[in-house]
Structure 1
Amino acid sequence: MVGHRPNPVVGHPLNKPFLLYGVLCFVVGMAMYVTGVLLVFPRYLLNLHALLDPVAEWLVWYSGVPIMIGIVLALFDLLYMLQHKKPDVPVRYIPVQRRRVTVALTAYNDEDSIAGAVEDFLAHPLVERVIVVSNNSRDATFARAEAAGALTFNEPAPGYGRCVHRCLSEAVRFDDTEFVVLCEGDSTFRAYDVEKLLAYAPHADIVNGSRIVEPLRQYLTQLTVFMYYGNLFVGKLLEAKYLGRGTITDVGTTYKLCRRDALVGLLPHLNPGVNLEFNAHFLDTALSRGLLLLECPITFHARIGLSKGGNINNWRGFTVGARMIYGLLSDWKRYA
């Protein structure tokens, strides 16, 4: 399989994501410290000194323990383990033989946007075909996608992960295109970015679109400031887990380009039972399988219609992010 290579430190007794653990320990310590300091308000305003003084003192005093553990773990990984973890291989360059892609769009109750999204991609000169997988939509999504010229499939099992897995499974059946572009049908992304994704294709197995470049994001989107920085934080945790293997700024994006042959080998290792955090699971699994991942800045636009995923509100975004972090730490065992 193109691009498959073992982790350079597999089997090494110190092959652990120390930087990942260190960052989380540091965050826990800082949260303890800030909580202890903020208790000053209920202590004085509500005269709860007897109850809260010991709690605040304990939090501030012992917050130093996880902070110091985090610093030590991070320095150990950065100053010592990085030289063992970073792959000693030349820069990849595999020329693109045929600049044509199969586009696979996920859709769930996207009747207002799906036709425009399909037509946008079909009009692009590098797009061979557009596949739409409707996740058992209750509106006219399926019919409008079909009328717009897409190859349409219905995935009756609910869940974003099942929809994406079905999208990729249907797309790899077409062996006349070397690449599969995964996206969604809510018009938050544009077909013209296919050119940029393909420009990075010679160097990677997966080119992950990044929404993190500020001038390329429309001012008002469903990605709030909290979600924006939360997504960046989780992306950096994934980067820390595979220290030296990639630069990751956007772990939640749904726009990515994949080599078809890499996907064929990756699909059996993906768990469609992972729901809204599936994109993090996808990237984590790809890196664990030795695939080469790059990021490419893409444009991001306001969606048409209401969000049904992790961007409904900040609380929903926080819970999805928390499940992503748990998945990264547990290797997604809760879905086994």
Structure 2
Amino acid sequence: MRQPVEGRAASRLHKPFLLYGVLCFCFGVCMYLAGVLLVFPRYLLQQHALLDPVAEALVWYSGLPILTGITLALFDLLVLLKYKKPDVAVRFEPVRRRRVTVALTAYDDENSIGGAVADFLNHPLVERVIVVSNNSRDRTAVFAQNAGALVFDELEPGYGRCVFRCLSEAVKFTDTDFVVLCEGDSTFRAYDIEKLLAYAPHADIVNGTRTVEPLRQYITQLSTFIYYGNLFVGKLLEAKHLGRGTITDVGTTYKLCRRDALIGLLDTLNPAVNLEFNAHFLDRALARGLVLLECPITFHQRVGVSKGGNVNNWRGFTVGSRMIVGLLFDWRRTA
């Protein structure tokens, strides 16, 4: 087994050069395209004296971030990857107790929460369902309790606080070794728990991915823009933790976690991170050395109105941008 590199050398080795490289490359391409597109105002408005130098500078100098990005990416992939990728055997820890505790986030989901709770409670591997209502203004808590869930009300607003409360309550139950995090809007189904558990022997966290087309319903709140935005940010997260995982969906809220791994991870999470919390969760898990796998899951049209990052493409763009800022600055500028 390779010996770990100590001190400052180790710190340099684990700099996410591929992440920086990809972003530099994208910035350079945007500069180039901006310079090219200036052809329209230049000729339509006849502003050659003003805009020609700007367009020329953008096109010429775009090569600097593009070349820098390619250099950083190649350095990480060709030189540092062999030091970053863990030199360990494929993990296999058999699942001894397959029953799970399910924790559902909810905010003004009275139209969907009862059906979602019933779906999970009827699954033979589910021991209990927890619902955390994020100070809902409707009868979400009442309907969840009537359906058989253990209900908690998180008064502090914010998706991150709701998820953190879900996980914190779920790990208190010692009769289940796994916690399943999901939403109460009926976009996910209980039958996918079987698939998540199939990956459990190999991982600490099994993250559901909505990127497999045949498993996505035709109409969902995951627009084409948000779909590829999730994929792009997922690959940035993968680049940051090069050699540690394959990530295609950072926005999914359906995941299975080993309880013992989750207990230690909770101390590193910041509940103040809002709609970007799922990316924050995965980033912190990988930084802690946990094993992360993805599992294809089904994705359905939600019941009710979306209140999260999928409201529209602009909301998705802002959430994705904040995710990228969080990945670059260790989430200090997003909470």
TM range (shorter): over 0.9
Kindly provide the amino acid, as one letter, of the partner of residue 65 in structure 2.
Answer: P
- 1:280-327 Cα offsets, whole Å, 9 max, x none, are 000000000110000000000110111000011100000000000000
Structure 2 equivalent of residue 248 of structure 1: 247
Q: In structure 2, the residue corresponding to 1:299 is in which secondary structure?
A: coil
Structure 2 equivalent of residue 39 of structure 1: 38
Report the number of matched residues.
330
Q: In structure 2, the residue corresponding to 1:129 is in which secondary structure?
A: strand
Contact 1:8 1:87 (8 Å CA) reproduced: no
Superposed displacement of residue 219, structure 1: 1.1
> Pairwise mapping of residues 1-336 of structure 1 onto structure 2 (< 5 A)?
11=7, 12=10, 13-334=12-333
Superposed displacement of residue 335, structure 1: 5.1
TM-score by length of 2: 0.97
Superposed displacement of residue 334, structure 1: 2.2
Superposed displacement of residue 48, structure 1: 1.3
- 1:51-92 Cα offsets, whole Å, 9 max, x none, are 111110010000000000000000000001001000000000
**4+ residue segments displaced more than 3 Å:** 7-11
Superposed displacement of residue 14, structure 1: 2.6
- 1:118-163 Cα offsets, whole Å, 9 max, x none, are 0000000000000000000000100000000000000000000000
Q: In structure 2, the residue corresponding to 1:269 is in which secondary structure?
A: coil
Q: In structure 2, the residue corresponding to 1:309 is in which secondary structure?
A: coil
Superposed displacement of residue 9, structure 1: 5.6
Which stretch of the first structure deviates more once superposed, 187-196 or 11-20? 11-20
Kindly provide the amino acid, as one letter, of the partner of residue 34 in structure 1.
Answer: L
Superposed displacement of residue 8, structure 1: 5.4
Query: What are the ranges of 5 or more consecutive residues in structure 2 without an aligned counterpart?
Result: none
TM-score by length of 1: 0.97
Contact 2:220 2:300 (8 Å CA) reproduced: yes
Contact 1:197 1:256 (8 Å CA) reproduced: yes
Kindly provide the amino acid, as one letter, of the partner of residue 52 in structure 2.
Answer: D
Aligned partners of 1:51, 1:149: CA distance in 2, in Å? 68
Q: 1:191 to 1:9 in 2, by over 3 A?
A: farther
Query: What are the ranges of 5 or more consecutive residues in structure 1 without an aligned counterpart?
Result: 1-6
Between 1 and 2, higher relative CO (CA 8 Å, sep ≥ 6) is seen in: 1
User: Equivalent pairs: percent with the same residue?
Assistant: 79
Kindly provide the amino acid, as one letter, of the partner of residue 258 in structure 2.
Answer: R
Kindly provide the amino acid, as one letter, of the partner of residue 314 in structure 1.
Answer: N
